[in-house]
Structure 1
Amino acid sequence: MKKTIAGVDIPDGVVAQAASDLMRSVESELMFHHAQRTFLFGALAGHRDNLTFDAELLYVGALFHNAGLNLKYRNSLHRFEVDGANAAREFLQQYAVADSDIKEVWTAIALHTTPGIPQYMSPLVAMISAGVQMDVRGEHYDEFTAQQRDEIVQAYPRESGFKKKLIEAYARGMEHRPATTYGTVNADVLDRWDPNYRRLNFCGLVLGSDWSN
């Protein structure tokens, strides 16, 4: 029987189930539940805004959006979002998924920490961002009903201390590659986490460039 939470059907096709099994095996329960809530809040935002979307692609994008924080990438020098996007692409290429759909999932994951852009792109890109932002920082919190919020959190709980634990998970996934945080909200994470972190400054980069004037 299909599982429905807050009026949203959880995709249960071959691709969705494989993605769920894979990410459950490599992510902590905290991060896996966060990914599930991201899908649900993203889907609700899409329904609210009358967007047309592929629920299975949204589900895969939500499950993989933080894949780049996993231990596998602790030596990577890419942005963690790019590692996650690449992982999703490699996963989807195993199935009969159109290249255009794979590119859209890649873009949604790659841009989910870049504020001010996703909401003007495709529904999938906008919805991944909306789901993440709602679960992480409560963006548009009151646009979801109390019943929707309660059903989602009951199904996929926010464990005690979730806010601080999430920041720690982000920090530990990026502390070895601090330069990749430039231009995103990730710089805020390391600024709070690492007392030795010094964020790159755009003005400093311009003024310190090799150009003579």
Structure 2
Amino acid sequence: MSGANALSLPASISSQLPRNEACESALRLAWKLLERPIFNHSLRVYLIAKHLAEKEDSPFAFEPRLALLFVWAIHHDIGTTDAYNGAERFEICGADCAKSHLLQHDYSEAESHQVWTAIAIHTSPGIAERIDPLSRLIRIAVLSDFGSQHYRQKMGVEEYCKEIEKMLPRQDVEKALGDAVVKQAKKIPHVDSLTWPTDEKFPKASWPGILLRAHAENPDHTGVNPAF
């Protein structure tokens, strides 16, 4: 790629990325589709998860499983994009994208489904942390990137999070991500702020559903979604 759309990362970041076609093409797709704040968040989540995996001597810190960690992280919010805005909640749409991508690059059904599960439940507290080692790593990394002092202090990543934010700025990711999820409701025919969309896309008890409800209750709010 070249010009304004060229993907350019600091050497200290790019040197930590897996070097295979599955990961490189996943990165290019994320760069092309994700809003910059969400792209930066996705990369930070990868770096935090990798950092935790290394501290714990987890197999996900090393190839070949590092590639699964990377594809998970870089695609975990890709379901918020127009290209992958399907009939189900954004987590499922992103999980489908990542699994399809891995299968196309000759990863096994079991490996691809492990990534699918980790993306599909990454907004499900208490489940993601315990269902699978990969899901746990990413859930903790996501919460750490969004400033959870419990996990930042418990896992010893406070300074590391601050360090990578200097290279991959936050750029109001909380607002960008919350708005991206809610905006998908407008793509559903015959839905307005007083009509609940399909249960598949915005289940009422899910994180997308809670975000949408908060927006519907205060549609003129211009800051970060109160339910974020």
Report the RMSD for the aligned CA atoms in angstroms.
2.4
Partner of residue 154 from structure 1, selected from 166, 182, 196: 166
The answer to whether structure 1 residue 129 and structure 2 residue 145 are counterparts is: no
Between the aligned partners of 1:119 and 1:145, the Cα distance in structure 2 is 17
1:185 maps to 207
Q: Offset at 1:10?
A: 2.1
> For structure 1, which segment, 90-99 or 135-144, has the greater mean C-alpha deviation from structure 2 after superposition?
135-144
Give the alignment's TM-score, normalised by structure 1: 0.79
Between 26-35 and 128-137, report the one with greater CA deviation.
Answer: 128-137
Percent identity reads 26
Structure 1: 5+ residue runs without aligned partners?
198-213
Distance between the aligned counterparts of 1:184 and 1:104, measured in 2? 21
**How many angstroms apart in 1 are the aligned matches of 2:49 and 2:57?**
12
| Match for residue 23 of structure 1 among 30, 35, 42 | 30
For the residue of structure 2 that corresponds to 1:194, the secondary structure is: helix
Amino acid at match of 2:35: S
Cross-structure match for 1:170: 181
1:145 Cα offset (Å): 4.1
**Structure 2 gap ranges (5+):** 1-9, 189-196, 220-228
How far apart in 1 are the matches of 2:125 and 2:216?
Answer: 23
1:61-109 C-alpha deviation (Å, 9 max, x unpaired): 11111111111244x3211111111111111121121111001011011
Which of residues 210, 216, 221 in structure 2 aligns to 1:194?
Answer: 216
Distance 1:81 1:51 in 2: 25
The equivalences for 1:1-213 within 5 A come to 3-5=11-13, 9-53=16-60, 54-74=65-85, 76-138=86-148, 140-142=151-153, 143-159=155-171, 161-174=172-185, 176=188, 177=197, 179=199, 180-195=202-217
How many residues get paired? 192
**Separation (CA, whole Å) in 2 of partners of 1:125 and 1:33:** 20
> Aligned-pair distance for 1:189?
1.3
